[in-house]
Amino acid sequence: VTSDRRIESLLRELAPQALGALVRRHGQFDACEDAVQEALLAAALQWPKDGVPASPLGWLVTVGERRLTDEWRSDSARRRREEADAALDLVPGEPAADHDDALTLLFLCCHPSLSAPSQLALTLRAVGGLTTAEIARAFLIPEATMAQRISRAKQSIKAAGVAFDLPPPAERAERLRVVLQVLYLVFNEGYLHRADLTAEAIRLARLLHRLLLDEHEVAGLLALMLLTDARRAARTDPDGMPVPLAEQRRELWDAAQIAEGIALLTATLGRSAPGPYQLQAAIAAVHDEAASAEETDWPQILALYTVLEHVSPGPVVTLNRAVALAMVEGPAAGLAVLDTLRGDESMAHTHRLDAVRGHLLELAGELAAARECYRRAARMTRSVAEQQYLALRAAALPGDNVPKAGRSGV
Amino acid sequence: MKYMIMMFGSAGEMMDVKSPDWIREMIQFMRQLDVDLRDSGEMVFNAGLADGSSAKTVRLADGLPVATDGPYAEAKESLIGYWVLDVENEARILEIAGRIVEWSEVVEVRPVADAPPEV
């Protein structure tokens, strides 16, 4: 089993390199991507039996190339003649372990012409080396649906006529922002639903960090993921109910992961104006460093949220700053900040404003009003676990004139 | 044989009349039920829905689709979750539905019409 797992992680690592080599040689991202998936599948079956070949990357490229020529041969009689000749010229690969290929692929899969769900799916398959079935399972949708989504994403890339090259310097910052966003979305998807996606997001962020050591926001994103994921074991109770940060058992937090995140962050902070991921990672670090909820350095967190609000303003940041302010100056100050979000269109259809308001009202001792907020939030959330959690919070507070304990068990 | 179990109710109503202990037990029951149905190989798929008050109703008005908020008025009893299960027979599906109804106001059971045509 251990060696199977070793092979699996080797294949995941080699997937973008093999794909990069094929695309460089033959163009046709679409066909090459299918060929690499088949080569990965063949390797997953063969290597555990026969052992890992001396040049695993060369093996994958050669098998992928063979699939490509098979594909071309079966295309048409005309192509068959052409490609059969060309196939003889194929040099069974010793492609350079060109790490730029993985980067180029990341930019390609996160191309702005694709929708966010397509970017996520394609990144996981072409760069992450996951199979369509694995991706479909992770997103809880049928495999045929995911296959179609990936196939359409590849067609869009073809239609957009994107070259297999790094984006030009003028576009690079904006394109990198999209890549980081896609990786963060993969992470969040995993954080909310599936731990294996979280691990994959962290692996891809590590890869990106290795490729772009000087990009502080890449380090910031990786640190943010590590510092957040470190709390995973404490985030839900044995029944699967969410446990708020203040009530988590901190001995369950992953100390090694926290140390790694903090080290990454320390290496970048102060070297340039921090970006949003570095700031969010810094906030996560302050939480992680507190030995208990009571010892949390809220003034520091408030200062970081205030900077974050300047760098990357948005209602969710304001919401979080309101909580920090409430912890520093009292719930009334936090509630006053929440009032500024009242007319915000993007807050109108989420449960978050009411959930936070309920929390602050509860802190202020206004229990009936807090209960109303939790109830409204429970009606609006899209998460069953959160709905149940908010229902519990509401039910635990005294209401106006409603019988509480009655009708147990119906 | 495939059946759909539809569970009706309202999160809002539940918060008004139930105790935290009751809610906690209900949550445990629902989680355990999903685990059991997966273990037994009967679960095809299932989902919980957001509260009925978040629903929109789409109707044709003068030949054009128009979405309106609601239904609020009937929010007391709207669909809040469903299971599609592949079970041995009707007795089994009614037994499962009987366990669910202890925690929900109304449960509806209906066959999924995926049998081949006999004509």
| CB atoms B27 and A399 under 8 Å | no
What b/e sequence results for B88-118 when a residue is b if at least 16 CB atoms lie within 10 Å of its CB, and e otherwise?
Answer: eeeeebeebbeebbebbeebebeeeeeeeee
Residue B24 near residue A392 (C-beta atoms within 8 A): yes
- How far, in Å, CA of A180 to CA of A222, rounded? 10
Contacts of B54 in chain A (CB under 8 A): 379-380
And the tokens for A182? Answer: 């896609």
Q: Out of B25, B54, B103, whose CB is closest to A379?
A: B54
Tell me, yes or no, if B16 comes closer than 8 A to chain A by beta carbon: yes
Q: How confident is the model at residue A409 (pLDDT cuts 50, 70, 90)?
A: very low
- How far, in Å, CA of B36 to CA of B96, rounded? 11
Tokens 């990144």, residue located: A123
Pick the closest to residue B36 from B47, B28, B25 (CA basis).
Answer: B28
Nearest CA in chain B to A350: B54
- How far, in Å, CA of A221 to CA of A178, rounded? 12
Res. A123: pLDDT tops 90: yes
Percent of chain A with pLDDT over 90: 58
Res. B68: pLDDT tops 70: yes
Least confident of A73-77, A137-141, A201-205, B103-107: A73-77
Contacts of B48 in chain A (CB under 8 A): 384, 387
Nearest CA in chain B to A349: B54
Most confident range, picked from A54-68, A155-169, B57-71: A54-68
- How far, in Å, CA of A154 to CA of A30, rounded? 6
Contacts of B19 in chain A (CB under 8 A): 395, 404-406, 408
pLDDT confidence of residue A410: 33
Tell me, yes or no, if B20 comes closer than 8 A to chain A by beta carbon: yes
Q: Please give the single-letter amino acid code of residue A117.
A: P
> Does A331 sit behind a cis peptide bond, omega within 30 degrees of 0 on the bond before it?
no
Residue A21 region by backbone torsions, left for phi larger than 0, else alpha for psi between -120 and 50, else beta: alpha
- How far, in Å, CA of A321 to CA of A337, rounded? 8
Say whether A402 sits in a helix, a strand or coil.
coil
Contacts of B50 in chain A (CB under 8 A): 379-382, 387
- The size of the A-B interface in CB pairs under 8 A is 69
Res. B71: pLDDT tops 70: no
Res. A160: pLDDT tops 90: no
Residue A200 φ/ψ, nearest 5 degrees: -65, -40
ipTM: 0.82
pLDDT confidence of residue B109: 97
Contacts of B78 in chain A (CB under 8 A): none
Rg (CA), chain A: 25
Tell me, yes or no, if B89 comes closer than 8 A to chain A by beta carbon: no
Q: Please give the single-letter amino acid code of residue B48.
A: G
- How far, in Å, CA of A301 to CA of A295, rounded? 12
| CB atoms A408 and B22 under 8 Å | yes
| CB atoms A395 and B51 under 8 Å | no
Contacts of A408 in chain B (CB under 8 A): 18-19, 21-22
pLDDT confidence of residue A79: 58
Res. A404: pLDDT tops 70: no
In this prediction, residues B106-117 reach a mean pLDDT of: 90
- How far, in Å, CA of A322 to CA of A338, rounded? 6
Angstroms from B85 CA to nearest CA on chain A: 16
Q: How confident is the model at residue B73 (pLDDT cuts 50, 70, 90)?
A: low
Residue B10 near residue B76 (C-beta atoms within 8 A): yes
Residue B110 near residue B1 (C-beta atoms within 8 A): no
Res. A199: pLDDT tops 70: yes
Half-sphere exposure of A17 (CA within 13 A, CB side): 21
pLDDT confidence of residue A405: 44
Q: How confident is the model at residue A86 (pLDDT cuts 50, 70, 90)?
A: very low
Tell me, yes or no, if A45 comes closer than 8 A to chain B by beta carbon: no
Q: Which residues contact A367 (CB under 8 A, 6 or more apart)?
A: A361, A397, A398
- How far, in Å, CA of A257 to CA of A397, rounded? 37
Question: How far is residue A173 from each of residues A24, A168, A178, A179, A206, measured CA to CA in Å?
Answer: 24, 10, 9, 10, 19
In this prediction, residues A43-64 reach a mean pLDDT of: 93
Res. A83: pLDDT tops 70: no
pLDDT confidence of residue A408: 37
Q: Out of A375, A409, A410, whose CB is closest to B12?
A: A375
Exposed, middle or buried, A329 (CB in 10 Å: 0-12/13-18/19+)? middle
Residue B65 φ/ψ, nearest 5 degrees: -70, 130
Average pLDDT taken over every residue of chain A: 87
And the tokens for A346? Answer: 């993007």
**Dihedral through CA A294, CA A299, CA A301, CA A305, nearest 10?**
140
DSSP states along A175-228 = HHHHHHHHHHHHHHHHHHT-HHHHHHHHHHHHHHHHH-TT-HHHHHHHHHHHHH
Identify how many contiguous H helices and E strands chain B contains and give both numbers. Answer: 3, 6
Res. A148: pLDDT tops 80: yes
- How far, in Å, CA of A279 to CA of A285, rounded? 10
Res. B70: pLDDT tops 80: no
Least confident of A38-47, A63-72, A303-312: A63-72
Strand-pairing partners, residue B5, are B83, B109
Res. B83: pLDDT tops 60: yes
And the tokens for A186? Answer: 């993969």
Percent of chain A with pLDDT over 70: 90
Residue B90 near residue B83 (C-beta atoms within 8 A): no
In this prediction, residues A261-283 reach a mean pLDDT of: 92
Q: How confident is the model at residue B16 (pLDDT cuts 50, 70, 90)?
A: confident
pLDDT confidence of residue A146: 92
Res. A272: pLDDT tops 90: no
Q: Out of B12, B23, B105, whose CB is closest to A392?
A: B23
Nearest CA in chain B to A404: B19
- Largest Cα span, chain B: 54
Pick the closest to residue B85 from B27, B19, B41 (CA basis).
Answer: B41
* pLDDT tens-digit series, residues A225-236: 999 999 999 998
Tell me, yes or no, if A404 comes closer than 8 A to chain B by beta carbon: yes
- How far, in Å, CA of A229 to CA of A235, rounded? 10
Res. A248: pLDDT tops 90: yes
Tell me, yes or no, if A384 comes closer than 8 A to chain B by beta carbon: yes
* pLDDT tens-digit series, residues A321-368: 999 999 999 999 999 999 999 888 888 878 999 999 999 999 999 999
And the tokens for A375? Answer: 């109830």
